[in-house]
Amino acid sequence: MAKTPDAVAPPRIPWRQVLNPRVALLLSVALLSSTTFYMVQPFFLIYFRHTQGLSTAESGALVSVPFLAVILLAMVGGYVADRIGVVRAYTLGLLVYGMSVGTAALVHGFAALFPLMVVAGLAMSVTSGGMQSIINLSAPPAQRGLLQNYLYWIHNMGALLGVLLASELLRAGRSNIPILLLGGMRIAMFLLFAGLFWGERPADSAQSAAPDPAPARLRPWSVIQGAMADKPLRYTTLSMFLLMIMESQLDSTVPLEFTEHFRHGIALFGPTVALGTALVVACQPFALKVLARKSSANTFRVGALLTGVGLTLGGTVGTIWAWVAGMVLYSMGAVMWAVKLNDRVSALPREGHTALYFGALGTAQNAAFFIGIGLGSAVYRVAGAPWVFGSMTIMAILAGFAFARGGVGFGGAGQEERV
């Protein structure tokens, strides 16, 4: 099939033209969602291990099993969401997730916690990529890359607030209060979405009044196979998978390293990670302007490399100052690769299959966290920090290669075209 001419990257659109009331509300909900999530996720392993008194293996299984559910079912969940409506599927997933996680804060023991975490994972398979899909469907194509970058900025702002609030005020890792807040917030989000958006038509799309009925006649597996055959999607998910393997260490081996090698490790871990997140939040708006006309592949490669080198520096040197410097490098790299990755993923979905495509990206992301948390913790215990963190630079190089391969046949940022 012949390649289409490369599209010209459009000028960045002023934020005032993008943030209509619906989008502003969605981004506000995303901020609350991210904040409560990061009150819990980086400390879940510590909570199960030290507060609940479970073994390291049991704690790792509880943390990782929701990610396993998303690996197996996210694309199926995306297909279902495209059929019944992205907002409806996302809303129901919020309710189930909030109830299961909230209950998990009130029970004890591996046998009681495990089925609750399985149910939470099933809900995540539907909500994975849900907000990204809703944002993408709430704007015309020219604005989607910018909105995905806004969503990424909101995500990091929430991570910064969540980690600081939990570590400084809510006794994260030692109390179930953050977990209860996470469950309660998801139930509140369910009520909000059900009240405001439940009646929207199943297509959930602002761009098309009459979606193509042909995809609905295809069987689910045929639709999923068609998405998996999409070369840009395959390579983009691979690059995301490798990046998320690195990021998953912030939820597993990095807090373990801090708690086992530094006095008052949790108190040090929170501000150190928050420093890196604050840099991302502060620098991304400038990066959107500065990097808009830069080469996507080269910018992504440099950013991924800085992220990998940052983890390698902190984990192999092992001092608190090495970790501070490493988090600075990690975050500066994330600012660079995130701009190009968000532009790419906003242009990936084919019409009528938005949730399916974001489900595929969610599968890669959660597979990375499942493997990164489980395998990373095991290698950390057996071989030590240098082996875990020393491999991060290699993964960064591979991620840059995969991203470049996924751009074959694409044009400018935000207007990329397939062959």
Q: How confident is the model at residue 199, as a pLDDT? A: 61
In residues, how long is the chain? 419
Return the pLDDT at 325: 94
In 3D, which of 121, 128, 139 has the Cα closest to residue 356?
Answer: 128
| pLDDT tens-digit profile, the chain (419 residues) | 333 333 334 455 555 666 778 888 888 888 998 898 888 887 887 888 888 888 877 887 888 788 788 788 777 778 778 888 888 888 889 999 999 999 998 998 899 999 999 899 888 877 877 888 888 888 787 788 888 888 888 888 888 788 778 877 777 777 888 899 999 999 999 998 888 876 655 444 444 333 444 444 456 556 666 666 778 888 888 998 999 999 888 877 888 888 888 877 777 887 887 788 788 888 888 888 888 777 788 999 999 999 999 999 998 998 889 999 999 999 999 999 988 888 888 888 777 777 778 878 878 887 888 788 778 878 888 888 888 899 999 999 999 999 998 875 444 333 443 43
In a domain, 104, yes or no: yes
Q: Give the 3-state DSSP-derived string for the chain, with helices as H, strands as E and coil as C.
A: CCCCCCCCCCCCCCHHHHCCHHHHHHHHHHHHHHHHHHHHHHHHHHHHHHHCCCCHHHHHHHHHHHHHHHHHHHHHHHHHHHHHCHHHHHHHHHHHHHHHHHHHCCCCCHHHHHHHHHHHHHHHHHHCCHHHHHHHHCCCHHHHHHHHHHHHHHHHHHHHHHHHHHHHCCCCCCCCHHHHHHHHHHHHHHHHHHHHHCCCCCCCCCCCCCCCCHHHHCCHHHHHHHHHCCHHHHHHHHHHHHHHHHHHHHHCHHHHHHHHHCCCHHHHHHHHHHHHHHHHHHHHHHHHHHCCCCCHHHHHHHHHHHHHHHHHHHHHHCCHHHHHHHHHHHHHHHHHHHHHHHHHHHHCCCCCCHHHHHHHHHHHHHHHHHHHHHHHHHHHHHHCHHHHHHCHHHHHHHHHHHHHHHCCCCCCCCCCCCC
CB atoms within 10 A of CB 13: 16
Q: 416 in a domain, yes or no?
A: no
Taking phi first (over 0 means left), then psi (-120 to 50 degrees means alpha), and beta for anything else, what does residue 352 get? left
Angle at CA of residue 343, ends 20 and 137, nearest 5°: 40
- pLDDT score of 206: 42
Residue 13 in any domain: the answer is: no
Give residue 107's identity as a one-letter amino acid code. Answer: V
> In this structure, is residue 85 part of a structural domain?
yes
Q: Please tell me the predicted confidence (pLDDT) of residue 6.
A: 34
The per-residue pLDDT for 15 is 53
* Number of domains observed in the structure of the chain: 1
Give the span between the Cα atoms of 376 and 249, in whole angstroms. Answer: 7
Residue 396, domain member (yes or no): yes
| Sign of the alpha-carbon torsion through 44, 48, 49, 55 | negative
Residue 203: the pLDDT is: 45
Is there a domain that residue 329 lies in? yes
Domain containing residue 167: 23-201+229-406
* pLDDT recorded at residue 246: 92
CA distance 181 to 161: 14
Is the sign of the CA dihedral 84, 216, 128, 289 positive or negative? negative
Q: Do the beta carbons of residue 288 and residue 12 sit within 8 Å?
A: yes
Taking alpha carbons only, the member of 46, 41, 43, 66 closest to residue 56 is 46
> Do 190 and 98 meet the contact criterion of CB atoms below 8 Å apart?
yes
Query: Is 144 inside any structural domain?
Result: yes
The CATH code of the domain that includes 294 is: 1.20.1250.20
Domain membership of residue 18 (yes or no) is no
Q: For residue 220, what pLDDT is reported?
A: 58
Look at the block and give the residue holding tokens 């020219």: 142
